[in-house]
Structure 1
Amino acid sequence: MKRILILGAALAGLLAAPAQAQSPDTLLNASYDIARELFADVNAAFVARHPGKTIDQSHAGTSRQARAIVEGLEADVVTFNQVTDIDFLVQNGFVTDDWQGDFPNQASPFYSLPSFLVRAGNPKGIKDWGDLARDDVKIVFPNPKTSGNARYTYLAATAYAKETFGGDEEKVIAFIDKVFDNVPVFDTGGRAATTTFVEREIGDVLITFEAETRGIAKEFGEDKFELVVPSVSLLAEFPVAIVDKVVDKRGSRELAKTNLDFLYTPEGQTIAAERGHRVNDPAVKEKFKDQFPEVRLVTVEDVFGGWEKVQAEHFASGGLLDKIYGER
């Protein structure tokens, strides 16, 4: 079995990565910041079924990854955590605009939701989004300007506020502004935020994908942390796509498709579920149902009118996120 290489997240490292592979038997998967362990497992299983193939990994915030690809990172496939970053690749001619029809479930093999990780005993009694605006609560999540993970947190908190305040925009903005005020440091990506919370012991609650909260507790000690699922959260899909401009140049399209198809197989779905992701395969979903508590999930489409509208109103230059974040 050939090596499975996990590359560093620094942009210089991304551009210098051995991603410009000379052989179509080697792929580079550009993925999101906290997916290292997931894809280490996925790639090992994939290579075991496809001897002689090599899957290299690159990890960073997905917005950063998308920019790196446009600037020269030759990733054959992307496994991101928000649609807008793949749309950025579409706009720049790297991915075809019908990419969501290439794989099932709108090209999202598994899903998760923004959730909370608190310290053992939950000393601050944090149960729901409303607690994040309290004066005595310090929150850790990454910078929404660079992290898809954090954008889901921002949108989930906004969705909660819209419901709580009956759509009163002034109250919604004031709530989000207070939440941002309670963040002592904005790291660039989800893994750095985890380090801040777990190793530097900063903050009362870490907000990240539910899958990550499970992994942290398992790795660092379930006696040290508690998982808290809020009353409502936002469906977080994990879209995948073939980077057409790269695979056509390298002749790696067949392997790229086979690699992403593997995520939808029972084996791929089982690995995702074991790593704390909610999956769509009926048999695998049933097997792991006791692992995932019930939660009411809202969608970007239902609350915000879709990703295109979210991008224009919240994430574009001069949008609502800029106005809130710019006041920090």
Structure 2
Amino acid sequence: MTLWQRPRLRINSLRSFLSLFLASTFLSLALAACGGGNQNTTNNTNNGNSTATKKQDVEITLVSFAVTKTAHEAIIPKFVEKWKQEQGQNVTFKQSYGGSGSQTRAVIDGLEADIVHLALSGDTEKIQKAGLIEPGWEKDVPNNGIVSKSVAAIITRTGNPKGIKTWSDLVTKDIKLITADPKTSGVAKWNFLALWNSVIKSGGDDAKATEFVANVYKNVPILTKDAREATDAFAKQGQGDALINYENEVLLAQQKGEKVDYVIPDVNISIDNPVAVVDKNVDKHGNREVAEAFVKYLFTPEAQQEFVKLGFRPVDETVAQSKEVTDKFPKVKTLSTIQDFGGWSEVDKKFFSDGGIFDQIQLKNKK
């Protein structure tokens, strides 16, 4: 090999090295560029997700007993507007109203209620026992779940021609009384208990209470399905001389311009109406947040004022002490609660189960 050939070898080697170096550098830059491109794509995706997390419209199904319809129709728009302003989410409500007992069975049988507002805690407990509501539901909201309440009223014909003043007057033979069937209506259960309670709180025992209530029901020409039908039978169809119904129904009728004569007996019962979220259904529908928010909203002074406007006695103490409320609702001297009867489980078993006292009274009266 000649001397001049060695430098050429080195030059070739250097050229090879430089080529490899430049290629490697170019590849590194290309990879870096690709890496930067992937990062931008991730950021864009995150930005897209941020937009996608905007809350979608949600639907709530409210199932309630008949006489609450007007109250909820006033309250729901207020909640919808408030939720839209605070959460930026549209909420629509599907509503179902009917007898509390019938509504309870409908929910158990498949009506997918997200919220139930029923005439009595016993109906809510039945839905719980069916596995749709978790135990302890009454502890998740204020006031043990009782969101509206009233007392029993005796509605008479204009001028009260029969001179009805208290429960004992309803056994007079020439008086026809209209009330709903406690087998299908929660309101009617309260009516029955108001009659029964009037004897017990006056010193009578179960035997005297049974006799008195049986004599009252002898004067009932028809048992309607729910409180609304009872009111229609009395007011629109002209049946009967007296009607037992919620005080709030009377006050609502008066607000509509109807002339209604009525009596609030001094011995009465607190008609307590619970509200609850139906756990199984809200989890299925993915709307628990809104459902729970609506239930809690019902306890606010704003919502309670709407109940008051429609004749319900408020559960919020601030509202209850207002002059509007004290002027509107007469005081009741002796006011019992469902707990005085041992709770709804005991009440249903004793009075309204198959073969219970109500069935015994009906059977006796048919003879």
TM-score by length of 1: 0.89
Aligned counterpart for 1:109 among listed residues 147, 153, 165: 147
Letter in 1 for 2:198: Y
1:161 shift after superposition: 1.7
Contact 1:116/1:213 (8 A) holds in 2: no
2:201–2:267 Cα contact (<8 Å) kept: no
> What is aligned with 1:231?
266
CA shift, 1:24, in A, is 6.9
Conserved in 2, the CA contact under 8 Å of 1:24 and 1:250? Answer: no
What is aligned with 1:205? 242
Given candidates 201, 210, 213, the residue that maps to 1:173 is 210
Match of 1:29 in 2: 62
Which residue of structure 1 lines up, in the alignment, with residue 114 of structure 2? 76
Offset at residue 138 of structure 1 (A): 1.0
Q: How big is each residue's C-alpha offset from its partner over 1:212-234, in whole Å with a ceiling of 9 and x where there is no partner?
A: 11112333512xx2121011111
Match of 1:254 among 267, 289, 310: 289
1:62-120 deviations in Å (ceiling 9; x for gaps)? 11111111111010000011011111101110111211101111101221111111122
Match of 2:82 in 1: 49
* 1:276 counterpart (290, 311, 330): 311
Residue segments in structure 2 that go unaligned for 5+ positions in a row: 1-55, 85-89
Aligned partners of 2:127, 2:343: CA distance in 1, in Å? 18
Distance 1:48 1:158 in 2: 44
Aligned length: 302
- Say which of 286, 291, 307 aligns to 2:344: 307
Q: Give the superposition deviation at 1:157.
A: 0.4
SS in 2 for 1:28: strand
Structure-to-structure mapping, 1:118-133, within 5 angstroms: 118-133=156-171
Partner of residue 191, structure 2: 153
2:179 alignment counterpart: 141
* RMSD of Structure 2 on Structure 1 (CA): 1.4
Q: Does 1:297 align with 2:351?
A: no
Larger radius of gyration: 2
Secondary structure of residue in 1 paired with 2:96: strand
Q: Give deviations 1:191-227, integer Å, cap 9, x for gaps.
A: 00010010001111111111111112333512xx212
Where in structure 1 do 4 or more consecutive aligned residues deviate above 4 Å? Answer: none
Per the TM alignment, residue 315 of structure 1 is displaced from its structure 2 partner at its CA by 1.6
Tell me, in whole angstroms, the C-alpha distance in 1 between the residues paired with 2:272 and 2:207.
29
Is 1:190 the equivalent of 2:227? yes
- Provide the rounded CA distance (Å) in 2 between the counterparts of 1:142 and 1:216: 18
Q: Please report the TM-score for the alignment, with normalisation by the length of structure 2.
A: 0.79
CA distance in 1, matches of 2:140, 2:361: 36
Letter of the structure 2 residue corresponding to residue 311 of structure 1: D
1:297 aligned counterpart, secondary structure:
strand
Partner of 1:286: 321
Cα displacement (A) at 1:136: 1.6
Measured in 2, the distance between the counterparts of 1:123 and 1:26 equals 49
Matched position secondary structure for 1:64: helix
Shift of 1:165: 5.3
